[in-house]
Structure 1
Amino acid sequence: MTPELASGIVDGVVLTFASGRIDLILQGFTEDAEIRFGSTTVLRGRNQIKEFLEDRFAERADQRLDKRLRAVDGDALAVDWRDRWTDTTTDKPMHSEGTEFWTLRDGLLSTWEIASTSTAETDLDASTTAAGSSQPYRSNIPGEQHDHIGSRRDQHRQP
């Protein structure tokens, strides 16, 4: 897979999640897909993924998600991401970021492995900022910069 195609897939996932349409999101997974959250939680198949997504969307308001391709090797992708939302229970602004490893089969996600951290916005240090702030989300890849959540420069550069 080319870096351009892989970047397009990552951008398509971001747009699909932004739609909030779980039916569309599920179309991006194989029937037997697995999502792994570290070593603790494994979701298997579209039904478990659907239940997870329904709960996740119910818990979050005003979600702002950004993902960027870091590497591609055949049908395996490494993706960094940042997420901001308001917790619907506490009304606190929240932040999460991490790295994902995707394995595709026939153009669909078959394995999605996630390592992440999550915290309230007020717990963040001065080096990270909320979407729309004056501080950009900067990539540590030379020649690549994200000016803010959802805006990307040099998106087709080979990682």
Structure 2
Amino acid sequence: MFLNELSKKESILFINLVKNLANVDKVFSEKEEQLISDYLEELSLNSSEVDSLPFDETLKALTSSTSRIQNIIYFELVGLALVDGLYSEEETAFLSKIANTFNINEGKQTSFLNFFKDVKALYEITVIDYESKISELKTRISELLV
């Protein structure tokens, strides 16, 4: 949703985090491979442009990014981790380390998580006024990313 705000360097580092997250549970599924392909396309990157970096090195490189960029990256990773409906212990530890490195407090972490729960709930029910709810969710996430 907000990945277009990342610089090319940040985009490459983000892809490294996505790959790390996809492999954190030691299982790399076709769905995860497709998501990486989708991210590469969204970020206008070729897989040949993305050098694999260790997790800690990737995080260190992103500490110089703005807090908004760090929030966007964390937000996107939370969404990716929840694609199957829940966090594994490994994913929780992975995201916790990123949140600590980026100084994202527990309140904001919970807000990001709740955002995705609200989006999921929105798609599970039929609501007459769904457009205003979607608009409200967009406003909430824009405010959280500041």
TM-score band w.r.t. shorter chain: under 0.3
Q: What TM-score, normalized to structure 1?
A: 0.26
More helix as a share of residues: 2
Q: What TM-score, normalized to structure 2?
A: 0.27
More strand as a share of residues: 1
